[in-house]
């Protein structure tokens, strides 16, 4: 589960993009993304 990966928590910088990449690619079978604020731009554009 990736909990609320919002723009305020994951800004557009290399460290935050890498953290999102690791969180997503370490999922074994599926990943559930739960959010209530706008998604981080890296997730909106598929830029991970």
Per-residue model confidence as pLDDT tens digits over 1-48: 888 888 888 888 899 889 888 988 988 888 888 888 888 887 876 544
Distance, C-alpha 32 to centroid of its chain = 11
Q: What is the pTM of this model?
A: 0.66
* Domain residue spans of the chain: 2-44
14: left (phi over 0), alpha (psi -120 to 50) or beta: alpha
């Amino acid at each position: 589960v990736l909990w609320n990966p919002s723009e305020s928590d994951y800004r557009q910088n290399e460290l935050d993009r890498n953290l999102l990449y690791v969180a997503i690619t370490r999922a074994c079978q599926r990943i559930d993304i739960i959010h209530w604020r706008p998604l981080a731009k890296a997730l909106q554009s598929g830029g991970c």
